[in-house]
Amino acid sequence: MSSEKRFGCPESPFPVGVEYYRAPTPKPECWDEDFARLRAAGFEVIRSFSYWNWMEPQPGLYELEDFDRLFELAEKHGLLVWLDIVLGTHGACPEWLTREYPDMRVVNYRGQRVESHAGPAYPQGGMIHCYDHPAWREYGGALLRHVVDRYKDRPNLLIWGLWDGINLASAWSPICEGYPCYCEHTIAGYKAWLRERFTLDALNARLSRRYRRWEDVHPPRSNQNVVEMLLYRQFHYENLADHLKWMVREVKEIDPDHEARAHGAWFPRPWDERCAPHVDSWGMSMSSNNLLTSNHPYRIADRSFAFDWSRQVGRDGRWWHEEIYAGMSPGGVTWKKQSDPRELTTLLWMSLAGGAAGAMFWQYRPEYLSFESPGYNLVALDGEPTPRFEAVARAIRQIKSLAAHLPLECPRPEVGIVYHPESQELFSYNGESDRFLADLRGVYRTLWTHGIPADIITPRMDWSGYQLLFLPNVALMDADTQKRIERTLDESPETRFVAEGNFGMYSADGQSSYRPPEGFADRFGVRVADFSSVTTDDIAAGQNGVETPYGAVTITSSCGYALLQPRDDTRAIASLDGNTVAVQTADGRFTWFGFTLSAGFGDVGQPDLVLGLTAEVGIQPPVAVEGDRVVPVARRSHRGGWLLFAFNLERREARVTLRPRWRTVRAHDLLNHCDVPIQNDALQLVIPPCEVAVIHCIEDS
């Protein structure tokens, strides 16, 4: 089977689909009419999210007649099927399995076994089983092989979904409080993992311990034991990736011809990069409720950040937007503000512009069994269309008209933002995971809203070719990260670094550095003298002004900062209350702000600082914007030239002049089917509220 047929829809280079069947809802008597409506609206894929305890109610007895009918009816209506086989994350394993193997249950850090529970996404039983019990692979593998063999030759099979929201076995049990599993099978696996990597003396050196017998070695049960928890989590993440690799092998031995995939969250997580390379494509699930209708519509930049991350971490850049939430947050007996239809269509267009292989909505009908009903749905409880459904159908028709331009090419930008998984891990131990993510996205949001593209990269990726690299809170300086920074400095003289906030304050094993920034104090000529913060009292007293080469800026929200002392040729470039809070090396290649560029500014990268730093390197947006505010995104068209997306994120009409950096000889509005006049190398556009313009620009050869 060709790769084109294997990894895609035969009718569309950007298929759009919807989550449909979460057994046992919706009822089978709805399917025929629903599928006809979906097909007529231009949808091409339906996704079924299957529960293990529904598919195998007795050992080896697979009751799949409803899935047989799903394939048959979908084929009748010309719809492709994306079938998830959920052995982990959501949904319980069969009750007979935990009855037969009670030691299969997850154990929390206090030694308590997890009991059966439910949630909005899994009303008939949440996941309580541990992947490390051998019965998981024995029985789960048998189900996986049976389902793949049963449906692999169906002409309308599109994708195997192997792991929905891949996460630790303990992640869905509230009593685990975010800690990993501590069952006997997991602990035995951890000890074996340690003995493969360390002698007892080497382990003592790594953990600052004095163990004399392996029997005394146990996993840590508190995040305050930073050094040991980092190692225990590393085991869990490698173990998670190994379980995913096993799933992929099981599927590919039977069916090498269909796409096998998994997805993460709408933000990076420390294990994503370990897991993503083992599947054909990656993706993400994403909440999307009422951003455009809020007073801060540009927060939708956080979703674009997730798209760029998924593209970077996906194998060969392949990713799907797996779940655009199609309605309000979980409803139930009281209700919340419904999503504006334009928010759904904006996210769909942003997915296309982000280089997605396709997009799926979550979901078609409401989840009738739980308080996700009425919730994330495109149609009403009675199955009749809503304005959201009609808006999405219109956007699908428009996207289909662009088929000749797809797939798009996302050129490599000049800016990279370094995501450091180990530092995120460290922040999470102190309850600061949200702070880390906000700082990670802060500069991106300012760049994106000003039309400057940026990649999200890690130390395991290639850094060559970037003009400017931001390092937000790269706090834990492991050997790989140190080598990547040093290699880039030595081999890419065009690249400049801007460290933000916590930089190199911890050594690779999790201890505070004895000489921060760890590994770079001499090379960068800087000493960390102390730490402090700007408080609400300081802000009220006016003690919140920072003098910088890019202008005086005012800190508007509480934030911490490091007091820095420049040495040798390094110079101070910013001060707060008489203290140095930013330095720059003599060659200008390394700048360090002792505060992040967003934490003190409402979690948005301070524009004077961010744009001043990019301009200093000579980086300009590919498309300049004059007039009303829009967000331009430029991609290479499959037909040649550029496809220019201009997003109006505000609830008013935008009258805008766009000046591309390339010389355009012809511009065609692909949605309004007309040429756009070009005056002085600029395009004049009028874009309705919360809508997008898509312009094909032909360059002067």
Give the pLDDT score at 1: 34
Residue 341 is assigned to a structural domain of this protein: yes
Q: Are residues 498 and 632 in the same domain?
A: no
Q: Are residues 280 and 131 in the same domain?
A: yes
177 burial type by CB count under 10 A (0-12 exposed, 13-18 middle, 19+ buried): exposed
As a whole number of angstroms, the distance between CA 573 and CA 566 comes to 10
Residue 382 is assigned to a structural domain of this protein: yes
Q: Are residues 356 and 426 in the same domain?
A: no
Tell me the pLDDT tens digit for each residue of 456-513.
999 999 999 999 999 999 999 999 999 999 999 999 999 999 999 999 999 999 999 9
CA angle, 442 then 168 then 302, to 5°: 20
Residues in the chain with pLDDT values less than 70: 1-6
- Given 378, 405, 432, which residue is the final one in a domain? 405
Peptide bond into 374 cis (omega under 30): yes
Q: Are residues 589 and 471 in the same domain?
A: yes
Q: Are residues 32 and 122 in the same domain?
A: yes
User: In terms of residue numbers, what domain contains 447?
Assistant: 415-617
Q: Are residues 525 and 649 in the same domain?
A: no
Strand partners for 21: 48
Name the residue among 326, 256, 315, 313 with its Cα closest to residue 287: 326
Give the pLDDT score at 6: 62
Q: Are residues 495 and 535 in the same domain?
A: yes
Q: 0.85 cut: is pTM over it?
A: yes
Residue 351 makes CB contacts below 8 A (sequence gap 6+) with 307, 321, 324, 359
682 burial type by CB count under 10 A (0-12 exposed, 13-18 middle, 19+ buried): middle
215 burial type by CB count under 10 A (0-12 exposed, 13-18 middle, 19+ buried): exposed
Residue type, 290: N
Residue 629 is assigned to a structural domain of this protein: yes
Q: Are residues 125 and 36 in the same domain?
A: yes
Tell me the pLDDT tens digit for each residue of 319-357.
999 999 998 878 889 888 889 999 999 999 999 999 999
Q: Calculate the average pLDDT of the chain.
A: 95
CATH number at residue 339: 3.20.20.80
Q: Are residues 514 and 591 in the same domain?
A: yes
Q: Are residues 609 and 627 in the same domain?
A: no
As a whole number of angstroms, the distance between CA 453 and CA 311 comes to 13
Is the Cα dihedral 553, 557, 563, 568 positive or negative? Answer: negative
Q: Are residues 475 and 610 in the same domain?
A: yes
CATH number at residue 504: 3.40.50.880
Q: Are residues 275 and 397 in the same domain?
A: yes
Asked if residue 104 lies in contact with residue 17, where contact means CB atoms within 8 angstroms, the answer is no
As a whole number of angstroms, the distance between CA 126 and CA 144 comes to 19
Residue 307 is assigned to a structural domain of this protein: yes
